[in-house]
Chains A and B, each alone.
Chain A
Amino acid sequence: MTPELGQLALILALLLALAQSVLPLIGAWRNNHALMAVARPAAAGQAVFVALAFGILAWAFMTFDFSVQYVADNSNLALPWYYRFAAVWGAHEGSLLLWVLILNVWTLALAMFSQNLPEVFASRVLAVMGLIAVGFLVFTLFTSDPFGRLLPMPADGADLNPILQDPGMTTHPPMLYMGYVGFSVAFSFAIAALLGGELEKAWIRWARPWTNVAWGFLTLGIVAGSWWAYGELGWGGWWFWDPVENASFMPWLAGLALIHAQAITEKRGSLRAWTILLSIVAFSLSLLGTFLVRSGVLTSIHAFASDPRRGLYILIFLGIVIGASLLLYALRAPKIAHGKPFNVLSRETAMLIGNLMFVVAAAMVLLGTLFPLIADALHLGRISVGQPYFGLLFPLLMTPVILLMPFGPFLRWGHGEPAVLKAVLLRIGSAAVVCAIVAAFFVHGQVKAILGTAAAVWVGFGVALYAYKRWREFPRGRRYPAEMAGMLLAHFGVAVFLVGVLLSEALSVTTDVRMAPGDAHEVGGYSFRFDGAQQTTGPNWHAEQGTVTVTRNGRQIAVMHPQKRTYPRGQVQTESAVKAGLTRDLYVALGEPMDANNVRGAWSLRLYYKPFIRWIWGGGVLMMLGGFTCALDKRFRLKRQAAVVATTGNEPAPALRPQENTA
């Protein structure tokens, strides 16, 4: 009975989403306060019903209700409760429900905190959020119902895809979706601004923290995915330029550009049209990401279920969203162009170049990801685009960004001073060169590692230099407002990330070897001794577990237990063993038994020595923290408090007075 209640809840949520989108739009057009006032309660009601549906599905998993097809397909009696809960978003239907739930969380937060926005504008923003919810709820109800029954009810379910049974994978999708969906806020702002023909600087200021938070979550989601792939896929890689990784990376790049563009628009009023366009692009790429993962059009390690109907629906939805918003943009964007002029040598220019590079990089990734689809549609053959395409172009595109990054903060808005830049260039340039020379002695002439050191010092020292300048020139308490601290953190994260990527790529030692029990193999100065493999069992799997003893100069460093797990349905899953460290990871994965009868117990093994690989995720986490810290800035909040004070007497703050309605 309860699954049907879930379905009912979704239908009610859809009706409320319709009310939330259509009525306030009419209200804003007709200046009808009663209709505009529908937005908030409708959003709250929608959130309640979506949460109810999500809870009912989770409950079905908890109580082993295998009469629900989705539950039977993705869990079984042996699956531990935490993976049963994670299984709610383990496959297509449930992950869509999670998408909608997260959209509702954002909408609810928006409804709560938008009290100080002009009524017309706020109701339009909420209405656009409602329209997105309508699109996804229709999609869920008509093509991907998670509550469909399975009759007769099986005694036991199938299984959650074993590669998803990992802590990294349970957190990855929700974080990623928080980011994807979070960009809908900036998108709704852009659409509402285009509809009204106005984009106040104050509104951009208000929108900024939302974008920063969304981008922070997206960063975390990507980092979690990368960390998971490293441990779980058993190849020791952290990024594969896989279509689905690309699907999350494109909105990340667009979001990165958006964060910087919003900063320019908020501070200087210029580039409004560009900021609006980026808001549309970032969210469109998020939708495209959903499309790529969920339609199964691309062959990928992630593309699980696929159903052409779903692909078609998302394609149409995507077409409507992108087409309509770009059309609106073309019609209305010129109306909102304003801003202060700026010189060639200015912070705006530096940030614009960065922006351009991020957008071009996103376009490059888009081309490489979609090219196989285009080629297929044009009957050019079945093509895949190899990693080297991305591996060559992406670093090339990012080089100007890395080179410019330390100077950005030192440049003044409008017009920069060459003298300051020269001083900075001299200092960070010499620091980078000195460190590169020192590093050259340690890395055996590996060019990539030397470049990595130089680039990391260039960026890191540049950030430190600017932090010191703030320390010296500003009085206590005004040195590092949250926005500034967030920028410094995120930029420093880039330096840490560079160390991780370039040093681990240059200095990693990866060997695939055949080992019989007792054999030892030397990798990166460490001796790995294989002590054989035994049977072991877990809650819902049994495994061959190898024992590898690692020693260095005769001293024991670690005993590692890589596993080759077999799950109930016969799926095999490699579980690598990682001995993590700040300066190096030791990584062992079992390959396969080498002789058919296993007389000698020989296995093929992957033995990896990966220096500084943790720094990749460390850098990512710093970038995420930077995004979150920025959002805490008092400047974004104080304005709100001031506005709240001003509106207590039912009198809108002068700065936020609604403009004449032109839509």
Chain B
Amino acid sequence: MNRTHKRRLTIVGVVTVAVALAVALGVYALQQNMNYLLTPSQVQSGQASGYRTFRLGGMVKRGSIHRSDDSLKTTFIVVDADGAMPVEYTGILPDLFRDDQSVIATGHMDNAHFVATEVLAKHDETYMPKELKDAMAKAHAGKEIKAEAGTAAGGGNPDP
């Protein structure tokens, strides 16, 4: 084994270690930051028990929004066809947040209610996040998604 070989071996070794490190780090970071999307009924059936933070998706129940008198704390109830989950959020809600709006909240469970750190409302009047639509359809296969009512109420021309 001459000098050139030794040098090449060192380079290969260093690159291998670096790649292994990068992959390990990447996988770790990915695992730490994967957020699952669940609907209230899925949470109530215990599917959320494995995750510390996850995303809760559903519709804001009509008349359930209550704002605190002296702070930015808001509570509301997120529902799907056969589940409901009280949500607590402190901060400014998105522009499109209102009754019967489909929302995705990121946060964690605290006893029986969900504490959100971020709330996203669907972006377009006529557009429900496909991801959420699928998740809700999956949660109650065969049942009508109530979301459609909210979509139509938003006005404008519905997407074909």
Identify the A interface with B (CB < 8 A): 73, 158, 161, 234, 296, 299, 301, 304-306, 344, 360, 364, 367-368, 371, 375, 381-389, 392-393, 396-397, 512-514, 564, 569-574, 591-592, 594-595, 604, 606
Contacts and interface: CB of A to CB of B under 8 A. Distances in A.
B55 A384 contact: yes
B72 A571 contact: no
B72 A513 contact: yes
Contacts, number: 93
B130 A306 contact: yes
B58 to A, nearest CB: 13
Interface in B47-96: 55, 67, 70-72, 91-93, 95-96
A360 B22 CA distance: 9
A594 B72 CA distance: 8
B33 A158 contact: no
B99 interface: no
A158 B123 contact: no
B157 interface: yes
Contact of A385 (B30, B93, B134, B154): B30
A388 B30 contact: no
Contacts of B93: 591-592
Contact of B37 (A382, A397, A514, A592): A382
Contact of A574 (B71, B95, B156): B95
B158 to A, nearest CB: 12
B92 A570 contact: no
B129 A382 contact: no
A510 to B, nearest CB: 11
B157 A158 contact: yes
Given A304-B124, A389-B32, A570 B154 contact: yes
A381 B36 contact: yes
Interface string B125-152: 1010111101100000000000000000
B131 A368 contact: no
B44 interface: no
Given A384-B37, A594-B67, A606 B92 contact: yes
Contact of A393 (B26, B36, B127): B26
Nearest to B28: A392
A58 B34 CA distance: 43
B29 interface: yes
Given A514-B70, A572-B95, A574-B95, A382 B25 contact: no
A367 B30 contact: yes
Contacts of A569: 125, 155-156
B131 A382 contact: yes
Nearest to B95: A572
B108 to A, nearest CB: 13
23 contacts: A299-B132, A301-B123, A304-B127, A367-B30, A368-B30, A371-B34, A382-B135, A384-B37, A385-B30, A385-B34, A386-B34, A386-B35, A388-B33, A389-B32, A396-B25, A397-B22, A512-B72, A512-B91, A512-B92, A514-B70, A572-B96, A591-B93, A604-B72
Contacts of A73: 157
Contacts of A393: 25-26, 29
B156 A385 contact: no
Interface residues of B, number: 39
A540 B132 CA distance: 32
Contacts of A512: 72, 91-92
A571 B157 CA distance: 13
A36 to B, nearest CB: 44
A205 to B, nearest CB: 30
A325 B138 CA distance: 39
A495 B138 CA distance: 49
A161 B55 contact: no
B22 A382 contact: no
B35 A383 contact: yes
A595 to B, nearest CB: 8
Contacts of B67: 594-595
Nearest to B55: A384
Contacts of B92: 512, 591-592, 604, 606
9 tightest CB-CB pairs across the interface, nearest first? A591-B92, A386-B33, A389-B33, A382-B37, A572-B95, A299-B131, A299-B129, A389-B29, A569-B156
Interface in B1-33: 7, 11, 22, 25-26, 29-30, 32-33
A570 B125 contact: yes
Contact of B95 (A158, A388, A573): A573
Nearest to A396: B25
Given A364-B26, A382-B131, A384-B37, 7 more contacts: A301-B123, A382-B37, A386-B35, A388-B29, A570-B155, A591-B93, A604-B72
A514 B72 contact: yes
B32 A388 contact: yes
Contacts of B95: 234, 564, 572-574
Contacts of A606: 92
A378 to B, nearest CB: 13
A364 B22 CA distance: 10
Nearest to A389: B33
Contacts of A595: 67
Nearest to A368: B30
Nearest to A565: B95
Contacts of B30: 367-368, 371, 385, 389
Nearest to A564: B95
Interface centre among A301, A387, A569 (most CB of B within 10 A): A569
A514 B55 contact: no
Interface centre among B55, B67, B96 (most CB of A within 10 A): B67
Nearest to B134: A382
Nearest to A570: B155
Contacts of B157: 73, 158
Contacts of A304: 124, 127
B35 A384 contact: yes
Nearest to B65: A596
A161 B97 CA distance: 18
A169 B26 CA distance: 33
Nearest to A596: B67
Contacts of B37: 381-384
B130 to A, nearest CB: 6
Nearest to B155: A570
B109 to A, nearest CB: 17
Interface centre among A304, A371, A573, A592 (most CB of B within 10 A): A592
A234 B121 CA distance: 14
A572 B97 CA distance: 10
A134 to B, nearest CB: 28
Given A384-B55, A512-B91, A514-B70, A367 B26 contact: yes
Contacts of A305: 159
A388 B53 CA distance: 13
Contact of A571 (B11, B70, B125, B132): B125
